[in-house]
Amino acid sequence: MISVPRAAIRRCFSAHAASYPSRTHNCGALRAEHADVPVVLAGWLLPQRKVSNALSFFSLRDAVGATQLVANRNSERSARTLDALAAVPTESVVVVEGSVRLRPQNARRSSDPTGDVEVLIHDFTLLNPACHALMPFLPSDPSSIPNEELRSRFRHLDFRRSGSLLSSNLRKRSEVAHVVRNYLNEEDFVEVETPLLLKSTPEGAREFLVPTRVGQTSVESSTPNVPRDSTTPPPLFYTLPQSPQQPKQLLVASGAVDRYYQLARCFRDEDGRKDRQPEFTQIDLEMAFVDWGEKQQPTTGVAPSDDKWRIGGREVRRITEELIRRVWRKAEHVELPSSFPVMTYYEAMSKFGSDKPDTRFGLHIQNLADHVPQSYRENLSNRDELLEYILVRAGSPGEDFLAASNRISLDPNEGVDRFVMRDGDATLSWGRETEALRDIGSQYGLSGLDVNGLNQHLGLRVGDTLFIARRHMFSGGGSSALGRVRSRIAEAASELGTYTPSPTPHFLWVTEFPLFTPASADPENQRAILDSGDDKRILWCSTHHPFTAPMAEDVGALQQGEFENVRGQHYDLVLNGVEVGGGSVRVHDADMQEYIFEKVLKLSNNEKASFDHLLHALRCGAPPHGGIALGFDRLVAILCGTTSIRDVIAFPKTGGGLDPLFKSPSTIPDAILAQYGIRAR
């Protein structure tokens, strides 16, 4: 037995550096059937609960659970053990030898897995004392909750904090990864690790650059300490992959891997965004010989929500849906539907104002153009604009959202008008006060607007709230102004307590996205930034990435240069308004891929050359193929019931990409930079 002098407790101890008893059980394993069994436990010591001078309780915690320890003064030896253990700082690491005994009946806790038993301490070994002077907070103190910045700086202590769910979240993350691998192995997928050091390609998002001394070594050895000049070769860089997109396509094109998967690490050097991480994990899949859908005539209007999958990639859909079902069955004990509903991008934007619609509540967007005079409709058509509205009714079923609809703030730059129908006069005059209507009707005169007829069509009543806005018919993007209003109303209603989002998982597919988007519509797109000075032509970028295939019936529009009318064989998986994955059928025709590079995206010869390896693979006989990437961090966060993916990542970065724990990124000395042919400014 170890006796610890109190004088020694006042300073930081050195760790135990000798043999010690091996543990027999973890701290969450003991049950009533273990009574009278001798055990050895190891873990972190929690604060003492002193009952009397002769009896004290402690708790010992590890990664699995906690066990109550009992120390008494029934003998001289046990008294020395109690005094010694009481002198050990809380949060110290100890090994305890003892015997299991049942708690008194009135002291048992059925809510605690180990609540029926306790361990009578015979002896202990102090493995590593905790130095409280160095600890910014005590993880075992539930009354002192450190702020997020402090928890981030001391993430290793935050894991141990009382009430923290980080440890259980990581266990669930591991469990989900196990389910994913087991299922994909059943389906004959091959797990392949793709390179993390690749070449920069113009795919859109900013990349992380990794300098290398390749090409600099010979110069260094022959001319040490000589500043770089025109004879020094330029520095060379790898880039960290935004995704394994090209390597996985090459794997499938090779014919050696028919079905590929990987829990892939991906990197994007994005500006600070809420709950984004510069490094993240995705469940990455690719399959050979996926179908291209059935060729059919283009349709107009909104397709019904139960419309069948009209694009290719049905094989990817089947695998993904079964994968999600298995994950939810294991992690949530929930049985999901045998198939998920499908919605086109057109319907999602028209009805919900978002390409990742939350279908758990109503507040559907509707078309107002059908109810205005013909002259107004012609003016809208000439502008390629739509006139839409959201009506929040007083009384059921809109009552849940009425107070919230009047409370939210509107961005004056979004062009949304709000009218609260308070009395008869307001109900009759709202149309003449609407900026959206006044603008499109100005050349015809407001007298042509039949507000009373509009009231009858809309069924307006006193107490209703009406939102009206125009949007461009081909604007693309992820949301419209009314779509953002709809989301803000739901968020405000949830905060007010008048609306509780259903926890039931509502999965759906969104398909038939525009294949191309004006680059100016995406301020994060790197090519838009590089070409921002060019105002002589429309610069198109890929809505998702340049390897997505067009829908079969839109290939003609692609060839004729009608790029705004080309829909892609892309599919997003959405859960309760959150995008959890996206994929597509790929271009497997080298000529089509080259056409997209040259005619649509206007890549320079140097930019196109960075894809030579892919074009060569396509020309050597690549099968039709497609795949999907599911956001692993986001899926696990949803399963853990947290809104932040930082809660399911062991060592996350801040929203701005900083690491408070490891203090990265950091500066590099000039001497080291010189080895890479880089000179600091």
Residues 660-670 have pLDDT tens digits of 999 999 999 99
Ramachandran area for residue 114 (φ above 0: left; ψ -120 to 50: alpha; else beta): alpha
Give CA–CA dist 482/437, Å, rounded. Answer: 16
For residue 299, pLDDT over 60 is answered with no
Instruction: Label residue 300 by pLDDT band (50, 70, 90).
Output: very low
For residue 382, the model assigns a pLDDT of: 82
Highest mean predicted confidence (pLDDT) among 10-24, 212-226, 650-664: 650-664
Q: How far apart are CA 637 and CA 430, in angstroms?
A: 44
Residue 664 lies in a domain: no
User: Residue 83 above 70 pLDDT?
Assistant: yes
User: Does 485 share its domain with 534?
Assistant: no
Q: Which of 446, 469, 496 is the last residue of a domain?
A: 496
The CATH number covering residue 284 comes to: 3.30.930.10
**How far from each other are the two terminal CA atoms of the chain, in whole angstroms?**
62
441 and 467, same domain (yes or no): yes
Q: Is position 157 within any domain?
A: no
Q: How many of the other CB atoms lie within 10 Å of CB of 473?
A: 12
Mean local confidence (pLDDT), 138-150: 89
Bigger pLDDT: 460 vs 355: 355
CB 20 within 8 A of CB 42: no
Give the number of other CB atoms < 10 A from CB of residue 303. 17
Minimum mean pLDDT among 125-134, 377-386, 635-644: which range? 377-386
| Mean per-residue pLDDT, 97-112 | 95
Element (H, E) at 582: strand 578-585
Q: Do 196 and 246 belong to one domain?
A: yes
pLDDT of 295 strictly over 60: no
Q: What percent of the chain has pLDDT over 90?
A: 71
Q: Mean per-residue pLDDT for 484-510? A: 95
Backbone angles phi, psi at 562, to 5 degrees: -90, 65
DSSP string, 422-477: -SHHHHHHGGGG-HHHHHHHTTT-GGG--HHHHHHHHT--TT-EEEEEEEETT--S
Residue 475 predicted with pLDDT over 70: no
Tens digits of residue pLDDT in 193-202: 999 999 988 7
What is the DSSP pairing of strand 236-239 with strand 55-61?
Answer: unpaired
Closest CA to 513 of 468, 572, 559: 572
| Residue pair 415/438 in contact by the 8 Å Cβ criterion | no
Average pLDDT over every residue of 552-569: 96
Q: Are residues 486 and 522 part of one domain?
A: no
Ranked by mean pLDDT, the top range of 150-154, 420-424, 469-473 is 150-154
Band the pLDDT of 227: cuts 50, 70, 90.
Answer: low
Residue 286: per-residue pLDDT = 98
Q: CATH code at 385?
A: 3.30.1360
Same domain, 543 and 395: no
Grade residue 305 by pLDDT with cuts at 50, 70 and 90.
very low
Cβ-proximal residues to 529 (8 Å cutoff; 6+ apart), any chain: 523
Residues 434 and 550 placed together within one structural domain of the fold:
no
Pairing verdict, β 507-511 and 342-344: parallel
Please tell me whether residues 381 and 517 are part of one structural domain: no
Distance of CA 581 to the CA centre of its chain: 9
Which of these, 89, 181, 178, lies nearest to 139 by C-alpha position?
89
Query: Quick one: which of 276, 240, 268, 249 has its CA closest to 525?
Result: 268
Q: Residue 519: its pLDDT value, please?
A: 79
Q: Are residues 112 and 28 in the same domain?
A: yes
What CATH number does residue 10 fall under? 2.40.50.140
Residue 233 lies in a domain: no
pLDDT of residue 222: 44
407 within a domain of the structure (yes/no): yes
Give me the DSSP letters along 484-551.
HHHHHHHHHHHHHTS-----S--EEEEE--BSEEEGGG-TT-HHHHHTTT--SSPPEEESS-TTBPBP
Report pLDDT for 601.
95
Q: Given the structure tokens 């399959």, which residue do they identify?
A: 287
Most confident segment among 206-220, 441-455, 496-510: 496-510
What's the pLDDT at 38? Answer: 98
Average pLDDT over residues 368-397: 84
Q: How far is CA 14 from CA 92, 104, 126, 129, 131, in A?
A: 12, 39, 10, 7, 10
Residue 384, pLDDT above cutoff 90: no
Average pLDDT across the chain, whole number: 88
Residue 70 pLDDT grade (very low, low, confident, very high; cuts 50, 70, 90): very high
Please tell me whether residues 376 and 330 are part of one structural domain: no
- In this prediction, residue 82 carries a pLDDT of 96
The whole-angstrom separation of Cα 363 and Cα 467 is: 11
pLDDT of residue 381: 83
Last residue of a domain, one of 474, 496, 518: 496
In the numeric block, which tokens belong to residue 397? 């079923």
Given 95, 115, 134, which residue is the final one in a domain?
134
| Burial status of residue 6 (CB atoms within 10 A of its CB: 0-12, 13-18, 19 or more) | exposed
Give the pLDDT of residue 532: 45
Strand partners, 283: 263, 630
How far apart are the C-alpha atoms of 155 and 652, rounded to whole Å?
Answer: 9
Residue 379: the pLDDT is 82
Q: Which of 479-483, 521-525, 655-659 has the lowest mean pLDDT?
A: 521-525
pLDDT-derived band of residue 302, with 50, 70 and 90 as boundaries? very low
Dist CA 99 CA 70 (whole Å) = 10
pLDDT for res 457: 82
536 compared with 70, residue with greater pLDDT: 70
Burial zone of 182 (CB within 10 Å; 0-12 exposed, 13-18 middle, 19+ buried): exposed
Peptide bond before residue 21 is cis, with ω within 30 degrees of 0: no
Do residues 417 and 468 make contact, with C-beta atoms less than 8 angstroms apart?
A: yes
Task: Identify which has the larger pLDDT, 329 or 429.
Answer: 329
Question: Does 588 fall in a domain?
Answer: yes
Question: Mind listing the pLDDT tens digit for each residue in 608-635?
Answer: 999 999 999 999 999 999 999 999 999 9
Task: Return the amino acid letter for 518.
Answer: P
Q: What DSSP state is assigned to residue 224?
A: T
Give me the mean pLDDT over the 520-529 stretch.
51
Q: What pLDDT score was predicted for residue 226?
A: 47
334 part of a folded domain: yes
pLDDT of residue 441: 54
Q: For the chain, what is the domain count?
A: 3
Task: Examine the pLDDT at 7 and tell me if it is beyond 80.
Answer: no
Q: Which domain holds residue 592?
A: 184-207+242-295+310-345+507-648
Q: Residue 251 pLDDT > 80, yes or no?
A: yes
- pLDDT reported for residue 428: 59
* 560 and 434 inside one domain: no
User: Helix (H, G, I), strand (E, B), or coil: what is residue 102?
Assistant: strand
pLDDT confidence of residue 301 = 43
Residue 55 scores a pLDDT above 80: yes
Whether residue 232 has pLDDT greater than 60: yes
